[in-house]
Amino acid sequence: MLVQIPDVLKPEEVAAVRNILEQSAWVDGKETAGEQAASAKHNLQIREGSKAAMEAGDIILRALGRNPTFNSAALPLRVLPPLFNRYDAGMKFHAHVDGAIRAIPGAGMRMRADVSTTLFLSPPEDYDGGELVIVDTYGSHTVKLPAGHAIVYPSTSLHSVTEITRGSRWASFFWTQSMIKDDGRRALLFDLDAAIRDVRSVLPDDQPGVLGLSSHYHNLLRHWAEL
């Protein structure tokens, strides 16, 4: 399930994150890649766990907390602190699958990566190339979104970033351990939640149809959730 989420960050929040990153040091992106991914990865990153990463990440985490679409699509149990990357001219990331298990910095624990999110921080007109390409059972999807917009997709997906030929592409990326491990079940619950919101827009909450759909949603969530 691929879900585009507009305006995760307000323009002033994008500006605040960019200001933090612009004053920070960038390192080779291979520092946070596994052995196989490192050979495919050609970009720059803000060092994981740095003050800049934490400050910019807090802005994003607060925004995610108030975003109903992200919470409905990801059904988050844990969200890894956001990371930040930059692709300048000539940089790219060949096709790869994200690692299944991630260590949570400073927490002494690990989490399963079920859902991947890319949050764009550069306007698309600022660079050529740099498209996020995601492959699923329905084919290949090319994503290049306005600054502040995000794409959510299964971490099991093969994906890549095409080579930058002009300008610079800045983004945040992070992983979520979902309460619902299976992407198919998450998609069913996401669609059901959307249907409930549509019905509630025209019917009172105490109508039998609204109550029935809401009951089914929560009982399915209760049945499938892993906490």
Q: Are residues 45 and 100 in the same domain?
A: yes
Q: Are residues 121 and 191 in the same domain?
A: no
Could you tell me how many residues make up the chain? 227
What's the token pair of residue 138? 């329905």
Cα 227 to chain centroid, rounded: 21
Q: What is the CATH number of the domain that holds 131?
A: 2.60.120.620
Beta bridge mates, 45: 27, 85
What's the token pair of residue 178? 């979902």
Q: Are residues 198 and 93 in the same domain?
A: no
102-133: pLDDT as tens digits: 999 888 899 999 999 999 999 999 999 999 99
Q: Are residues 128 and 174 in the same domain?
A: yes
Q: Are residues 62 and 32 in the same domain?
A: yes
Crossing angle of helices 208-224 and 183-200, rounded to 10° = 160
Q: Are residues 43 and 126 in the same domain?
A: yes
Q: What is the CATH number of the domain that holds 191?
A: 4.10.860
Q: Are residues 124 and 195 in the same domain?
A: no
Domain span at residue 173?
3-178
Question: Considering the entire predicted model, what is its pTM?
Answer: 0.94
At 32, the pLDDT band (50, 70, 90 cuts) reads: low
Q: Are 16 and 52 in contact (CB under 8 A)?
A: no
Separation between Cα atoms, residue 80 and residue 21, nearest integer Å? 19
Taking CA atoms, 200 is separated from 50, 67, 123, 152, 197, in Å, by: 44, 19, 35, 25, 5
Q: Are 53 and 26 in contact (CB under 8 A)?
A: no
Q: Are residues 121 and 108 in the same domain?
A: yes
Q: Are residues 174 and 190 in the same domain?
A: no
Q: How much is the average pLDDT of 171-186?
A: 98
Q: Are residues 131 and 159 in the same domain?
A: yes
Q: Are residues 94 and 111 in the same domain?
A: yes
146-162: pLDDT as tens digits: 999 999 999 999 999 99
Q: Are strands 115-120 and 169-178 parallel, antiparallel or unpaired?
A: antiparallel
Domain total of the chain:
2
Q: Are residues 11 and 111 in the same domain?
A: yes
At 34, the pLDDT band (50, 70, 90 cuts) reads: low
